Amino acid sequence: MVKVLLSGDVGGNWDALHARVEKLHTSAHGPFDVVLCAGFSDVSANAIRAWPLPVYVLGGLGDQPKNTSTNLHIVSENSVHTISGLHVAFLADPEAVQSFRSALTAQPVDLLITTDYPQGYKPHNLRSRHMMMDPWHVDSTSWYLWSKSRRPSNALASRYRRHVSTP
Determine the pLDDT at residue 26.
92
How does pLDDT run across 66-105, given as a tens digit for each residue? Answer: 555 578 888 888 888 999 999 898 888 777 777 788 777 7
- Which domain does 102 fall in, by range? 4-165
Determine the pLDDT at residue 54.
92
How does pLDDT run across 94-120, given as a tens digit for each residue? Answer: 777 777 887 777 788 888 887 766 556
Global model pTM greater than 0.75 = no
Name residues whose C-beta falls within 8 Å of residue 34's C-beta, 6 or more positions apart in sequence.
2, 4, 5, 53, 54, 55, 56, 83, 84
Contact 2, 86 (CB under 8 A): yes
Domain count, the chain: 1
Name residues whose C-beta falls within 8 Å of residue 69's C-beta, 6 or more positions apart in sequence.
none
Q: What is the CATH number of the domain that holds 8?
A: 3.60.21
